[in-house]
Amino acid sequence: MMSASAAPIPTPRPMPVDTSAAASPSLWEKLSNWASEHKVAIYTIAGITVVTVAGAIYYVSDSSTGEKGAESGPSGKTKKKRDRRKAKREEEAAKQESTHSDAKQPSVAAEPEDELPDVTEEIVANLSEQEKNAHAAKLKIAGNKAYGAKEFQRAIDLYGKALLCKQDPVFYSNRAACWSSLQEWEKAVEDTTAAINLNKEYVKALNRRANAYEELGKYSEALLDCTTSCIIDGFRNEQAGQSVERLLKKVAEAKAKTVMQNKEKKLPSPTFVTNYLQSFRPKPLPAGLEESAELDEESGKGQLRKGLIAMGKKTADGYSEASEAFHKALELGGLDEHEALAYNMRGTFNYLKGDNKDALSDITKSIELQPLYTQSYIKRASMLLEQGDRESAAKDFEQAEAQNKNDPDIYYHRAQLHFILQEYSDAARDYQRSIDLDKDFIFSHIQLGVTQYKLGSVASSMATFRRCIKNFDRVPDVYNYYGELLLDQQNYVDAIEKFDTAVEMDRADRPTSMNVLPLINKALALYQWKQDFSEAEKLCQKALILDPECDIAVATMAQLLLQQGKVTEALKYFERAAELSRTEGEIVNALSYAEATRTQLEVRRSLFFVPWNGYCQRVISSKAVSCKLFIQEHFPGCKPLSMNPPRSCSRCANSSPSPLQVQERYPNLSQRLQEMGPTAMR
């Protein structure tokens, strides 16, 4: 049994414990429902998947991007082929629309060319409304026929004449379909905009404008239209949902490139750094670098030792000091047999800063200098896996094993690779191999227990964790990760007890650098169990006080706020999560959530708010009614002074006061709308 005075145990990132076999809902579906659905949060570093149960932030899979490829504007045969498919889709859409609209109007037989009405502005000015409608219907049918025959220019002319007779959104939308078939995207935008101005809930026009915007490279505008379409349509159109996913990715990727160009290379939160560094077994200071050795601190060896000692502080200042020392050590030189270690450590900290290019260069140099140093192969494999190069990562593990087949770190980290790839049986074998070589490394036991859980062997998993508590009873991480499994089983009482134990132990062992993950897990447990948002938020805030740059705490806070409909506040935290991300892929992931939240907020403002004497009304079934619940939910500072409703609101069964009553009861609502920006006052 491990004693309380034993050396601290390394703390790798926790692994996923989601046991759901069903396919995960898309990012948009999750955000549109304003609910996490109790999925796990997945956060990635160096190919090591990390989880906080019940989900602070969701992983966006490439498989959810829809049918359309990520690249826009292909050339040659591919472009022509795509254009033909697109034209065919537009043609079918126009036919469907014409069928739908014709069903609502008196049947009008298609007329020969010479019998179509002659239409000019002067002629129309002298027609009765009945005559105008009749002429418009005939011209529309002729336009549909021309469109079906792919006579797009003629169809455009006919729809234009129909519009002289009647300003109908269907005519604008059909003409936009013609412009799209001719790849006249700006004109398609112009006509669909006219249609939408006549009918803000015209889904087909919104989809057509979104398509045109996408072709023009205006992905944010396309995303807004697709999102609006999905909300109006009740998320019934799967293809539209896929378009939202695709556009979210495009918008996020474009913004991520800008963020990366301007991003300062700095270390992430100390929780993040600690969890990565301590996923390797601790080693004593190398011979010649011991604390008792007489070294000039301004020498290369002195700086290398300084960096290794500073890492032991496990604080933000300690890690910054270590990073600077490793850089200086290589600049000063004279490292002799320790040069490979210096390159390894500088590469490690470059990697943690998100500087993968320099990190790979340093780690590769370390391998060249000392091929027997297996840790360098392992770290390079993690970097390669993060970049999606699975084959090269596997080769590095093979090379490491060839150098020293008895290094337990090889099998532990290779198990992580298998776990990420959902090769759980292979992962379990490698975790067990790591345990066989070194039974004192607690995280091999923990990860084996989680893997057994993923394989469906819940009894074996629970037994593994009970043994961990028996043999490592003073290690906080055992209680934290055991609590995660209990939480996944909805055993809230025992889970919270384990999280509390982990917090107390960590606070006693390292009060200035404690692991904040148990606090976050407890917050999620209270949210799931009792929907206690207040206490959950307090715990997340406490975690952020201890570690202001803890990405998981930020993401969890964003999700908790989102659950409560506090969209504007949630958006700030999603954007903060993007700022804290290390790599471009992580930034894309965080920005996808930020953009989804921002877009839905924009849609809710534009669809659900209309100006009326500077005050707020909600549009329900095309009728403007004030909704007490809606106002209180999104404008918590606006307190109703009284409520004596003359009629009911279909959304919440609360009353719909008159404009004067709104002014009296929500005295600061106008100011709040102004703070939200112009989109709220459209």
Identify the pLDDT of residue 603: 84
| Residue 620 confidence (pLDDT) above 80 | no
Q: Which residues contact 247 (CB under 8 A, 6 or more apart)?
A: 210, 214, 219, 222, 223, 226
Confidence of residue 461 (pLDDT cuts 50, 70, 90): very high
Q: Give first-to-last CA distance, the chain, whole Å.
A: 68
In this structure, which amino acid lies at residue 450? V
Alpha helices in 531-583 (DSSP H): 533-546, 551-563, 567-580
Question: Which of 272, 259, 263, 266 shows the shortest CA–CA distance to 550?
Answer: 272
Residue with tokens 């992983």: 59
Yes or no: say if 378 and 413 are a contact pair by the CB < 8 Å rule.
yes
pLDDT tens digits, residue range 140-171?
999 999 999 999 999 999 999 999 999 999 99
Question: Residue 616: helix, strand or coil by DSSP?
Answer: strand
Confidence of residue 114 (pLDDT cuts 50, 70, 90): low
Where b means 16+ CB within 10 Å and e means fewer, 661-676 reads bbeebbeebbebbeeb
Would you say the pTM of this structure is higher than 0.75? no
pLDDT tens digits, residue range 85-103?
555 555 555 444 444 343 3
DSSP characters for 49-83? EEEETT-SS----GGGS-SS-S-----HHHHHHHH
- The pairing of beta strand 48-52 with beta strand 41-45: antiparallel
d(CA 412, CA 280): 9
d(CA 207, CA 225): 7
Q: Which domains does the chain have, with CATH numbers?
A: 76-216 (1.25.40.10), 611-681 (no CATH)
Identify the pLDDT of residue 427: 97
User: 50: which strand partners?
Assistant: 43
| Residue 234 confidence (pLDDT) above 60 | yes
Kindly report the number of other CB atoms within 10 A of residue 456's CB atom: 12
| Residue 560 confidence (pLDDT) above 80 | yes
Confidence of residue 521 (pLDDT cuts 50, 70, 90): very high
Question: Which of 286, 301, 367, 296 shows the shortest CA–CA distance to 331?
Answer: 301
pLDDT tens digits, residue range 385-402?
888 899 999 999 999 999
What's the longest Cα–Cα distance across the chain? 105
